[in-house]
Amino acid sequence: MKKRIIFFVLVISFLWLISGISGESEFIIHLDETIKATDIFTLVNTLASPQYEGRLTGTAGYDKAVQMAADYFKQYGIRPIDGMETYTQLFPVSYTKVYESKLTLHVKDKNGKEEVLQCQYFKDYYPMNFSGSGNITGEIVFAGFGITAPEFEYDDYIGIDVKGKIAMIIKGAPKEKEGEDWSAYDDHRFRTKNALKHGAAGLLYIYSARGNPNGAYLEGFPMLAIEEKLADRILEKYRKNVKSLTEHLKQRHRNSFATDQTAELTVRSENFQGNGANVVGYIPGSDELLRNEFIVVGAHLDHCGMWPQLTPGADDNASGSAALLTIARALGTSKYQPKRSVLFALFGGEEMGLLGSTYLVSHLPEKVKKINFVFNLDMVGEGPDVFILRLKNYPEMEKIIMETPRKLNLNCHITGNEITEKGRGGSDHAPFVEKRIPAVSVFSAGSKHMGYHKADDSIYWITPKIMEDIAKIISYTVMRMAAD
């Protein structure tokens, strides 16, 4: 029996010599020494603090985060990529500061009794982070999905007049029939422009009262996101609600009507044209040929800003940014040099629609001849476990990563899924996948990410241990993939 165990151990260590990281146990000790929950938490606490202004891309608060990340890259021995003078890769960006906003509703219930509702930030409504300025009191006209699609003979604006009034619309699109693609219409940018084009003076978008800079600024056109519950108050008079209307609309039953309810909405905002930035650096591979191949670790550094109220974005995505900086520290200060190169990229403009990652994949530094794999970290700060989007698309990587909790002595569970359909995903892996580069997004799991895009996404929900686990898992897996 004893002999068999010894034989087994010998076989395992032999396998490691041919396919693993040489000096693996030393490397794991190095990970334990350089990746600490308290250090990662301190970084999250800094990035989520008011001096970084919620890190809206283009603003001074975001630039400050960029500078901080670049300073750490330098300190950890991460190099700027040749051809880029610094760690920053700039791209054009339009961003909006919303200085103040207000929503008052005058709603009648089904008995005709009128009530005045002073609505509250985050609870009832939130100004869209790309809203134009304006003050308008007017009738609310419900305009379905707010879609005009001539090729599908569909128009939510037929039979209603929104001119000078406040359009109220729902997210979504009719159920697709064979051969149809509504994705161009099921889009904030299209929907908001379409409301303005039809003469609306303001917009109530039944979405979710959260920060959201993913849209186009429209001069003089105030736009507020409102919670479904608030929209239901407006519709109650007609014994209708958002849920039933959405079902009808999905079946293409036209459902636009003047509500005979009044809203007063105010937004004071200012739009700027500026620069967004990715922070990019790398560890060169030791092998003359393999160093042209890169393993990428990415995370978005930006969030929704502080206009008009701070969204700290501790989980989304100070957590991923802090984990990335810690991985850069662990790998950058390790004695072990991988054969392939490792690229670190903190993306800007993710919340505006994956701007930074889209820019990087189409403007890759010349040195980056091939990207073998991308690990994107997004919202890794809450809960005990790990979820990896697209994990099962890549069985070889899955095999390595599933071994890590045991190997690194961690208690977290890793789960993942497979995604085969096309279309843009919700995070920075998507632009890489579109270019046929293997990519996954890593999230923490086992919590509800309750504060998502709200003032509640604060350090008080953060579980530091999971960030440490994820930083270790990714450091180890990246090194394994860069080593062979």
Footprint of Zn ion on this chain (CB under 5 A)? 316-317, 378
Q: By C-beta, is 406 or 448 nearer to Zn ion?
A: 448
Name the minimum Å distance from CB 118 to Zn ion.
Answer: 31
Which residue number, 55 or 291, has a Cβ lying nearer to Zn ion?
55
Shortest distance, position 379 Cβ to Zn ion, whole Å: 5
| 222/320 with CB nearer Zn ion | 320
Spell out the residues 6+ positions from residue 185 whose beta carbon is closer than 8 angstroms to its own.
Answer: 145, 147, 149, 173, 191
User: By C-alpha distance, which of 386, 382, 425 is closest to 404?
Assistant: 386
In the complex, what is the shortest distance from the CB of residue 442 to Zn ion, in angstroms, rounded to a whole number? 12
CA distance 245 to 413: 40
315 close to 381: Cβ distance less than 8 angstroms: yes
Q: Is the dihedral of CA 131, 278, 364, 291 positive or negative?
A: negative
Judged by beta carbon, residue 101 or residue 214, the one nearer Zn ion is 214
The least distance separating Zn ion from the CB of residue 2, rounded to whole angstroms, comes to 52
Closest to Zn ion by CB, 227 or 378: 378
Select 53 or 378, whichever has its Cβ closest to Zn ion: 378
Q: Which CB sits closer to Zn ion, 52 or 142? A: 52
Q: How far is the CB of 278 from Zn ion (least distance, A)?
A: 15
CB proximity list for 45: less than 8 A, separation 6 or greater = 314, 459
Burial class (CB in 10 A: 0-12, 13-18, 19+), 155: middle
Q: How far is the CB of 244 from Zn ion (least distance, A)?
A: 32
CB of 428 to Zn ion, least distance (A): 8
**Minimum separation from the CB atom of position 348 to Zn ion (A):** 12
Left (φ > 0), alpha (ψ -120 to 50) or beta: where does 4 sit? Answer: alpha
**Closest CB to Zn ion among 140 and 354?**
354
